[in-house]
A and B are shown apart, each in its own frame.
Chain A
Amino acid sequence: MRVTPPPTIYKVPSPEATLRRLFLTVFLRGQSARGLTKETAPKSLAAKLGWILFVYAALGLSALLMIGQPTLLLSIMLHSITFLALGMFVASSAGEALFNKEESEILMHRPVTSQMLLRAKSTVLVQISLYMAFAVNLVGLGIGITASDGGLLFPFVHLVSTVESALFCIGIVVLMYQLCLRWIGRERLEGVMTTMQVVVIVCITVGSQVLPRVMGMNRGVGQIDAGAWWLKLLPPTWFAALDDAVAGTRSSNSWMLACAGMVATGFILWLGFGKMASVYESGVQILGESNRTRPKQQNQIRLLRALSESALLRPFLRSSVAKASFQLVSAYMFRDRDTKLRLYPGIAPMMVMPVTMLAMNHGFGSSRASHAIESGMGGFFVAFSAAYLCIVPLSALNLIKFSQQYRAAEVFIAAPIVGPAPLLQGARVAVMFFLCVPMLIMLLAFVVIMEGPSSVWLILPGVIAMPAYALIPGIIGNATPLSNPMEEAKSMNNMPIMMLSTFGAMGIGGVATTASSMGFLAIFLIIETISSVALCCFLYSITKKATWRVYD
C-alpha cells in the first residue's frame, strides 16, 4: 500500500512583518551602501544598535546628579533628556524614513498599502525610540528608588511613562507631517515640511541650551521649582507627573497632569496614525511626481548669480569654477532638504552658546553671573563668543560636503579641474557670506546691547581668526562640497578637530581679554592679523596643491 505524503505546509510570510524587518535593516544600515563595507556581507545590526544605545545610556548618567531628590524633580529631568534625545532623533530621521523617493519606486507597485507602510515605519521608529528611551533612562530607573518620596514602584511606572513619552514624541512628528500634507498642498509641501523640521530641531537644540538656565539648574538641581505654572505646560512634566502620582507624592495635582499626558498622547496617536493616515498616501505619491521650478526659485537663482558677480564677492570668486561652486553650495543651503536638516541644527548651538553666555553674564538665571561680572569675565565672554563663531565655517563646510546626490559630484572630477581647491573656495565664500556674516552681525548687535559699544573691539580677534578656521576642512580629507554620501555623515568623527577648535577659540578669547585688560589689544590685533594671514597662505597653498582623491 502506498502512503501519500502529507502536503508540505510552508510558513507564509506576512507582508507587514517583512516591511518592519526591511525598514529596521535599512534604517540601521542607511539608504545607501556607500560608506559601509559593501564588498562583504553586512555587519551585525545588533552591534550597531548596541553602540548607539551605549551612547544614549551614557547620556542618562546625568541622572546620578539627582540621587535623593524628589520623584517629580528626578522624573522631569529624565523625561526632559528623553524628550530632547528622542525629539532630535525622530525629527531628524522621520522625514527620510517616512518620505523616501526611491523607496516609493520600489514598494508602491507591490501589494502593500500606504497604511501598511506607515504602520511599519512608525513601528520601527517606535521600536528604536523605545530602545533609546530605555537606554537614556537605565540609570534613572535605579536612581528613582532612592528618591526622597519614591520607592520600588518607580522603575515600573517610569517604564510606562517612558513608553508614553516616546509615543507622544513620534506621534507629534508624524502628525506634523500629516498636517503639512493636508494644509500646505502638493506644490509647497517639501519646502514647508523641511522648514518645519529645521525649526523643530533648532528649537529643541536651543531649548536644551536655554531651558536648564531658565529653570535655574545651574544653581543646583534641587533648586528647581517643580510647581512653577509654566513647567506644567511642558510635555515632560505630564509624563513625570505619572511617576509622581504612582510612586511619589501621589498628589491629585500629579494625577491630573498624568491624565492630561495620557489624553494628549492618545489624541495625537489617534490623529496621526488613525484619522489622518490616508493623507500619507498622497504624500508618498507626490514623491514620484516631478517638481516644477517655482518663480521664487528662479528669483533665487538670479540673485545668486548677481551676488557672485557683485563687487563685494568678486575678489573672492575670481575663477568661474569658484563662482559656480558658490552658486551651487548656496542653492543647496537654501533649497536642499537634507542639507538644511543637517546644516542649521548643526550650527544653531554655536550661535546659542555665546548668546547664552553673554546673557548669563548679565544675571539671566545664573548666580555665577554676578561672580563673572565681579571678576571682570564680561570681556572674556565677548572675545570667546566671537572666537567660538570661528567654528561655524569649519563645522558648516564639514556638513556641506555630504549630499544624497553625491554621485553627481563626479562631474567635478570629469571637468578639467586639477583639484578641489576652487570648489572649496566657492563653498567657503557661500558659508562665510550666508552664515558667518549674519551671525557676526547678530553677535555685534547683542554685544552692543548687553555690554556696550566699548566691548565691540573684542569681537575682532574672532573675526580675524575666522578665515584660517574656514581653510581647515580643505586639509583634513575630502571636503569637496556635496561629494560624500549621507551615510558617512553618520559615521564621521570630527570630535577631536571640534574640540581642538574650541580650545583654540578659548585661547584666542583668553589672550585677547588679557591683552585688552593690559592695554595691548591693538598690538595683539596686529600680531594676530599677521599670524592669521601667514597661516591662511600656508593652508591655502596646501589646499591648492591637492589633487582629486580616488572616489569610492
Chain B
Amino acid sequence: MAVNDLSFEVPGGQILGFLGPNGAGKTTTLRMLTGMTSPTSGTATICGFDLLTQPLEVKRKIGFVPDSGAVFESLTGLEHLEMVAALYEIPQELARPRIEQFISFFDLSMDTLANKMLGAYSKGMRRKVVITAALLHNPPVVFFDEPLEGLDANASVGFKALIQSLAREGKAIIYSSHILDVVERVCDRVIIIDKGRSLVDGKPDELVAEHNSGTLERLFTQMTGGQELERRAETFAKTFLP
C-alpha cells in the first residue's frame, strides 16, 4: 500500500510542503487528491466537494503540475493552453488575455508559443507551459509536484515569488519537492511522510527547533533514516574508486 492512514487539512492561503524520500507515497497522494487514482479506502474533501462522489466539481477547483511535465508534443504551446482553457469552459476571448499574462510573466514569446510545437520546446519552456495550464482557470487549490524541474535560476525565483503571491491571494498550495531549502523558505507548513504515513506535521522552524536538527534537511534525514547516508557515501567512494 503506497499511502496508509494519511490525514491532513490545508486552509486557504497556506503553502504546505509535502516531503518524503523516494517511494514514500507523495506522488500517489497527489494523484489521489487530483482524481487521477482511486483510493482503495478513505476520502478527501476539496473546497467542500467530496472527491469520490463529486470528482468533476473537485477537478474544477484544482490545478495540478505533475512531475512528468507531460504535454501533447504535437500541439503548439498556444493550442495546448487554449485546449486546457476550453476544458474548464473558459471562452477563447477570455482565455487569450490570461495566456498573454502568463506569457509575459514567464518571458515567453507569443510567436514561439503560437508557431512551435511543444516537442521543440526546451524543458524549462515546457515546464512554464505546464504551470500556465495548471493556473489558467484560477483554481483555489493548486498541487505542485517538483515544479522547479527544468526551470532556470531566474524563472525559479519568479516562480517562488508567484506561489507566495498566490497564497496571499487565498489559494491553498500543496508543494511536493525534494529541494528542501526551497521548501524551508517558501512553505508555511511541512508534512514529512515515509512509507505512506505522516511522520511530522508543522511549521518548518518549529519542527526544526522541536527536533533540534538545525535545518529542515537535517530534520528530513533524521526522520527518514538518511543519517547514515553521508557515512555510506564516504565508504562507497573509498571502495568504488581505485
Query: Could you tell me which A residues sit within 8 Å of B by CB distance?
Result: 8, 10-15, 18-19, 21-22, 25-26, 29-34, 36, 38-42, 102-113, 282, 285, 288-289, 487
Q: A10-B93, A40-B115 are in contact. Are A25 and B87 (CB under 8 A)?
A: no
CA distance A158 to B60 in the complex (A): 45
Residue B108 lies at the interface, judged by CB distance under 8 Å to chain A: no
Say yes or no: B37 contacts A109, CB within 8 Å.
no
Say yes or no: B74 contacts A36, CB within 8 Å.
yes
Nearest-neighbour CB distance to chain A for B209, whole angstroms, equals 36
Binds A, one of B6-14, B63-71, B149-157, B211-219: B63-71
CA distance A102 to B37 in the complex (A): 14
Say yes or no: B36 contacts A33, CB within 8 Å.
no
Binds A, one of B99-107, B116-124, B194-202, B220-228: B116-124
- Name 7 extra pairs, CB < 8 A, besides A11-B91, A22-B83, A109-B35: A11-B92, A26-B75, A34-B119, A108-B34, A110-B59, A112-B87, A282-B38
From A18, A22, A42, A104, B36 is in contact (CB under 8 Å) with A104
CA distance A222 to B56 in the complex (A): 58
Q: A18-B86, A41-B115 are in contact. Are A109 and B62 (CB under 8 A)?
A: yes
Residue B84 lies at the interface, judged by CB distance under 8 Å to chain A: yes
**Beta-carbon contacts under 8 Å, B1-49 to A:** 31, 34-38
CA distance A487 to B83 in the complex (A): 22
From B68, B89, B93, B120, A102 is in contact (CB under 8 Å) with B68
Nearest-neighbour CB distance to chain A for B79, whole angstroms, equals 7
Say yes or no: B74 contacts A285, CB within 8 Å.
no
Residue B73 lies at the interface, judged by CB distance under 8 Å to chain A: yes
Neighbouring B residues of A38 by C-beta, 8 Å: 116-117, 119-120
Neighbouring B residues of A108 by C-beta, 8 Å: 34-36
> B90: nearest residue on chain A (CB-CB)?
A13
What are 23 A-B pairs at a CB distance below 8 A? A13-B90, A14-B86, A15-B86, A21-B83, A22-B83, A31-B72, A33-B117, A33-B119, A34-B119, A36-B117, A38-B116, A38-B119, A39-B116, A41-B115, A102-B70, A105-B66, A106-B71, A110-B59, A110-B87, A282-B38, A285-B38, A288-B36, A289-B37
Neighbouring A residues of B64 by C-beta, 8 Å: 109
Residue B132 lies at the interface, judged by CB distance under 8 Å to chain A: no
Say yes or no: B74 contacts A42, CB within 8 Å.
yes
Nearest-neighbour CB distance to chain B for A143, whole angstroms, equals 38
Neighbouring B residues of A13 by C-beta, 8 Å: 85-86, 89-92
A13, A26, A29, A103 pick with most chain B CB within 10 angstroms = A13
Neighbouring A residues of B120 by C-beta, 8 Å: 33, 38-39
Nearest-neighbour CB distance to chain A for B123, whole angstroms, equals 12
Residue B177 lies at the interface, judged by CB distance under 8 Å to chain A: no
Say yes or no: B68 contacts A33, CB within 8 Å.
no
Say yes or no: A106 contacts B70, CB within 8 Å.
yes
Neighbouring A residues of B76 by C-beta, 8 Å: 41-42
CA distance A153 to B90 in the complex (A): 47
> B68: nearest residue on chain A (CB-CB)?
A105
Q: A13-B89, A33-B73, A36-B74 are in contact. Are A18 and B37 (CB under 8 A)?
A: no
Neighbouring A residues of B94 by C-beta, 8 Å: 10
CA distance A106 to B62 in the complex (A): 14
Q: A29-B74, A39-B120, A109-B59 are in contact. Are A10 and B91 (CB under 8 A)?
A: yes
Nearest-neighbour CB distance to chain B for A109, whole angstroms, equals 4
Say yes or no: A26 contacts B37, CB within 8 Å.
no
Q: Which 3 A-B pairs have the closest CB atoms?
A: A33-B119, A10-B91, A29-B74
Q: A105-B66, A109-B35 are in contact. Are A15 and B72 (CB under 8 A)?
A: no
Nearest-neighbour CB distance to chain B for A349, whole angstroms, equals 30
Neighbouring A residues of B88 by C-beta, 8 Å: 110-111
Q: A13-B89, A42-B76, A111-B60 are in contact. Are A33 and B118 (CB under 8 A)?
A: yes
Say yes or no: A106 contacts B72, CB within 8 Å.
yes
Nearest-neighbour CB distance to chain B for A406, whole angstroms, equals 12
Q: A36-B117, A42-B117 are in contact. Are A109 and B36 (CB under 8 A)?
A: yes
Neighbouring B residues of A31 by C-beta, 8 Å: 72-74
Nearest-neighbour CB distance to chain B for A179, whole angstroms, equals 21
Nearest-neighbour CB distance to chain A for B161, whole angstroms, equals 25
> B74: nearest residue on chain A (CB-CB)?
A29
Say yes or no: A18 contacts B83, CB within 8 Å.
yes
> B38: nearest residue on chain A (CB-CB)?
A285
Say yes or no: A111 contacts B87, CB within 8 Å.
yes
CA distance A107 to B231 in the complex (A): 44
Neighbouring B residues of A39 by C-beta, 8 Å: 116, 120
CA distance A293 to B186 in the complex (A): 38
Nearest-neighbour CB distance to chain B for A11, whole angstroms, equals 6
Neighbouring B residues of A12 by C-beta, 8 Å: 89, 91
Neighbouring A residues of B55 by C-beta, 8 Å: 113
CA distance A330 to B223 in the complex (A): 43
CA distance A22 to B71 in the complex (A): 12
From A33, A40, A104, A282, B74 is in contact (CB under 8 Å) with A33
> A21: nearest residue on chain B (CB-CB)?
B83
CA distance A42 to B80 in the complex (A): 13
Say yes or no: A15 contacts B89, CB within 8 Å.
yes
A36, A38, A102, A106 pick with most chain B CB within 10 angstroms = A106
Neighbouring B residues of A487 by C-beta, 8 Å: 74
CA distance A495 to B178 in the complex (A): 51
